[in-house]
Amino acid sequence: MKTNKSFSKRIRVTKNNKLVARKIGQGHFNAKSTGSQNLKKKKSVSMKITNKSKSRFIKTK
């Protein structure tokens, strides 16, 4: 099965094989929010994904 490239570009695998990605929906309409709110939006969030989905979306070596 092919790796889903669009999904694999949005996530990062840490050295302990955890998946990290940005929160969804944080890229637009940031003019009204304060600087501290904008900094919070930039943080990454740990994702939980099943092994079946992991093998489908992420290419392993």
Compute CA 44 distance to the chain's CA centroid, rounded to the nearest angstrom: 7
**Domain limits, the chain:** 5-50
Query: Quick check: 46 and 20 in contact, CB under 8 A?
Result: yes
pLDDT of res. 4:
78
User: Quick one: pLDDT at residue 36?
Assistant: 94
**pLDDT value at position 35?**
93
54, exposed or middle or buried, with CB in 10 Å at 0-12, 13-18, 19+? middle
CB atoms within 10 A of CB 28: 6
Mean pLDDT (10-residue bins), the chain, 61 residues: 79 84 86 92 84 72 56
pTM value is 0.58
pLDDT at 16: 84
